[in-house]
């Protein structure tokens, strides 16, 4: 049955605080936001991606975000007001947002909510691998890898764009600029001897999250992946009391980090309608909003 009173349109800048408040209403443990507060990434997504709202009259009942980067479309957000859930609004939002992106690789992170998983599957996305949110205050008993070292780089180095596109599977200069400037990102070049084998960003000012955030991070060879993560975390923990990152369930660093003090704080399911543009064994995403 169609809700003819429901309309879907692009979000307005003035509505971003309302979208953040709606996001928090879907979390039973979240406190209400301060008046006018806007969550991390929403302002950036407003200028660099597409945000659509579902409205009935003046009331916003849900919203969806899609970040198009090259031949990929990442669903950044999909939230429906708890009072309006299970009424088909999420389905209509998702269809509306994805309609212009046929022929692209569409992917997202889904929560463990069975309704969310089913919604994405009905739109052609398949569950692939869990993404684990990790937090640690120090690497207990772990020594810096002798195989790799991290050298500080300049955020305006054009090689960063090339490395990120090579490891992350799409070009995204606006996202890199956002992480470097708004989140005080530090660029690391990961080297083995004289050879650069990967890169990493350590973001020191992630709104709403204490400590440093590691990611994106990428290496060319999966054999370097665990050492690369450990070295990047070492730099992060030199600059902050704790560090966070999100790892693919198949990433070679996962077991090592859990053995040396990391804690799993949550997980999401990575879903896609085809092969991913990156290798989860060689790549660490920026987090759940932009990947």
For 250-271, write each residue's pLDDT tens digit.
Answer: 999 999 999 999 999 999 999 9
Is 137 in the same domain as 70?
no
Residue 1 falls within a domain, yes or no?
no
Is 151 in the same domain as 252?
yes
Q: Which helix (H) or strand (E) holds 120?
A: helix 114-122
Residue 119 falls within a domain, yes or no?
no
Examine the fold and report which residue of 56, 87, 103 is the final residue of a domain before the chain moves on.
103
Is 96 in the same domain as 142?
no
Residue 123 falls within a domain, yes or no?
no
Task: Enter the tokens of residue 135.
Answer: 């937090």
Per-residue pLDDT band at 92 (split at 50, 70, 90): very high
| CATH for 76 | 3.40.630.30
Residue 190 falls within a domain, yes or no?
yes
Is 41 in the same domain as 151?
no
Residue 291 falls within a domain, yes or no?
no
Cα(196)–Cα(233) distance, integer angstroms: 18
| pLDDT in the model for residue 142 | 60
Examine the fold and report which residue of 59, 82, 103 is the final residue of a domain before the chain moves on.
103
**Is residue 87 over pLDDT 70?**
yes
Contact assessment for residue 164 and residue 199, using Cβ atoms and an 8 Å cutoff: yes
* Buried/exposed code over 173-209 (b: 16+ C-beta within 10 A; e: otherwise): eebbbbbbebbebbbbbbbbeeeebbbbbbbeebeee
Is 151 in the same domain as 243?
yes
Is 153 in the same domain as 77?
no
**Is residue 2 over pLDDT 60?**
no
| pLDDT in the model for residue 144 | 56
Is 191 in the same domain as 241?
yes
Domain range enclosing 21: 6-103
Percentage of residues of the chain with pLDDT beyond 70: 96
Contact assessment for residue 141 and residue 172, using Cβ atoms and an 8 Å cutoff: no
**Is residue 212 over pLDDT 90?**
yes
Residue 145 falls within a domain, yes or no?
yes
Number of H helices, E strands in the chain: 8, 13
Domains contained in the chain, number: 2
Examine the fold and report which residue of 103, 125, 150 is the final residue of a domain before the chain moves on.
103
pLDDT tens across 282-291, in order? 999 998 888 8
- Round the average pLDDT of the chain to a whole number and report it: 93
Is 42 in the same domain as 155?
no
Residue with tokens 């407003």: 46
Is 53 in the same domain as 163?
no
Is 273 in the same domain as 142?
yes
pTM: 0.93
* Neighbouring C-beta atoms of residue 142, cutoff 10 Å: 17
Is 184 in the same domain as 63?
no
**Is residue 176 over pLDDT 90?**
yes
Cα(282)–Cα(280) distance, integer angstroms: 5
Per-residue pLDDT, averaged over 84-110, amounts to 92
Cα(46)–Cα(40) distance, integer angstroms: 11
Residue 188 falls within a domain, yes or no?
yes
Is 195 in the same domain as 241?
yes
Residue 233 falls within a domain, yes or no?
yes
| CATH for 257 | 3.40.630.90
Q: How far is CA 117 from CA 78, 86, 280, in A?
A: 12, 13, 20
pLDDT tens across 123-163, in order? 999 999 999 999 999 887 766 566 899 999 999 999 999 99
């Amino acid at each position: 049955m169609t809700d003819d009173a429901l309309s879907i349109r692009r979000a307005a800048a003035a509505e971003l605080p309302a979208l953040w408040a709606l996001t928090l209403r879907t979390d039973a443990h979240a406190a209400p936001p301060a008046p006018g507060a806007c969550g991390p990434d929403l302002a950036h997504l407003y200028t660099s991606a597409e945000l659509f709202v579902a409205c009935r009259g003046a009331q916003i009942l849900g919203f969806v975000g899609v970040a198009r980067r090259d031949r990929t479309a990442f669903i950044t957000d999909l939230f429906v007001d708890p009072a309006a859930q299970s009424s088909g609004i999420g389905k209509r939002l998702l269809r509306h947002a994805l309609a212009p992106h046929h022929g692209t690789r569409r992917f997202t992170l889904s929560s463990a909510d069975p309704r969310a998983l089913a919604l994405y599957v009905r739109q052609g996305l398949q569950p692939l691998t869990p993404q684990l949110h990790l937090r640690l205050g120090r690497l207990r008993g772990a020594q810096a890898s002798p195989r790799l070292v991290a050298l500080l780089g300049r955020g305006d180095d054009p090689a960063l764009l090339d490395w990120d596109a090579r490891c992350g599977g799409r070009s995204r200069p606006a996202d890199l600029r956002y992480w470097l400037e708004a989140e005080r990102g530090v660029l690391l070049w990961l080297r083995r001897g004289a050879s650069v084998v990967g890169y990493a960003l350590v973001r020191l000012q992630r709104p709403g999250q204490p400590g440093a955030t590691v990611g994106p991070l990428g290496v060319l060879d999966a054999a370097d992946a665990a050492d690369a993560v450990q070295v990047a975390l070492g730099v992060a923990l030199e600059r902050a009391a704790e560090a966070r990152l999100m790892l693919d369930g198949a990433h070679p660093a996962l077991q090592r980090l859990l053995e040396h003090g990391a804690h799993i704080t949550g997980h999401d399911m990575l879903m896609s309608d085809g092969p991913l543009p990156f290798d989860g064994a060689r790549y660490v995403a920026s987090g759940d909003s932009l990947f």
